[in-house]
């Protein structure tokens, strides 16, 4: 594996193979909170991903969802690993989850891969282009607003409020868009792929193992990606990832009344 992109794709594929092999089986749960847990699939998938990354890039640091940080804390190169985004879906037998791998160099995501273990697709970016690998072929990702489907994150990740529930109850949103809640950042990759019109979440997402890969993919695909106020990504709260400028402008207007003063 000569390139960072190849490492990212191989790592995501290794994690996805583990998740796929365990999907639909009985797996042990490891509670994090009353409504959040990891499973043996999360842990095994992260180990498989780490084996690929550490074997190919032993000098790099890693931040994983389950096993935390490893390597030199001051390293300029750091891999962000979410081995199973959508654990509750996975455990409930709902086929909506992903494996996310991204490389940050000096804090900027340079390559990323998002694997869907069920469809066996791998969405990837080298930082400039965005593609999906399907049945051995790499196809360009083309964002599209045609579906009019907007995914809203319902996980309350902001202490000062909960944008998701307020936004979903807004009749203005319902009048323009169909609302969806996948409860996995696979939905972010779907914006890049033209399967969703937009994705909205609140929270501080800088250095997030959940979102770094998907947002890098969206930006490379040409989506409009900003904070909830329309500013640069990570400058303010949350994220709007929209297929085009028109959708982004509509969402900014709809979201503004629900933001704290």
Give the span between the Cα atoms of 179 and 187, in whole angstroms. Answer: 12
On whether 245 is known to bind a ligand per the annotation, the reply is: no
On whether 84 is known to bind a ligand per the annotation, the reply is: yes
On whether 103 is known to bind a ligand per the annotation, the reply is: no
Give the span between the Cα atoms of 10 and 8, in whole angstroms. Answer: 6
Retrieve residue 87's tokens: 């654990």
In degrees to the nearest 10, what's the CA dihedral of 73, 79, 84, 87? 40
User: Which residues contribute to the annotated binding site?
Assistant: 65, 82, 84
Binding-site residues for Mg(2+), please? Answer: 65, 82, 84
């Amino acid at each position: 594996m000569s390139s960072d992109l190849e490492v990212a794709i191989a790592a995501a594929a290794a994690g996805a193979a583990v998740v796929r092999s365990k999907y639909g089986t009985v797996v042990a749960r490891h509670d994090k909170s009353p409504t959040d847990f990891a499973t043996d699939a999360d842990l095994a998938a992260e180990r498989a991903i780490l084996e690929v990354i550490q074997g190919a890039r032993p000098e790099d640091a890693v931040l994983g969802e389950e096993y935390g940080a490893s390597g030199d804390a001051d390293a300029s190169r750091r891999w962000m690993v979410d081995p199973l985004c959508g654990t509750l879906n996975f455990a409930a037998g709902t086929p909506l989850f992903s494996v996310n791998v991204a490389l940050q160099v000096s804090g900027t995501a340079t390559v990323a891969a998002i694997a869907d273990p069920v469809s066996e697709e791998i969405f990837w970016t080298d930082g400039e282009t965005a593609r999906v690998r399907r049945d051995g072929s790499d196809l360009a990702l083309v964002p599209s607003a045609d579906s009019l489907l907007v995914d809203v994150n319902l996980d309350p990740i902001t202490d000062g409020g909960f944008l998701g529930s307020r936004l979903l109850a807004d009749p203005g949103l319902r009048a323009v868009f169909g609302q969806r809640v996948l409860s996995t950042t696979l939905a972010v990759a779907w914006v890049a792929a033209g399967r969703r019109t937009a994705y909205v979440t609140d929270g501080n997402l800088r250095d997030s193992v959940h979102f770094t890969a998907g947002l890098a993919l969206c930006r490379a695909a040409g989506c409009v990606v900003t904070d909830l106020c329309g500013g640069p990504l990570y400058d303010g709260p949350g994220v709007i990832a929209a297929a085009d400028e028109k959708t982004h402008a509509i969402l900014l207007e709809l979201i503004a009344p629900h933001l704290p003063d």
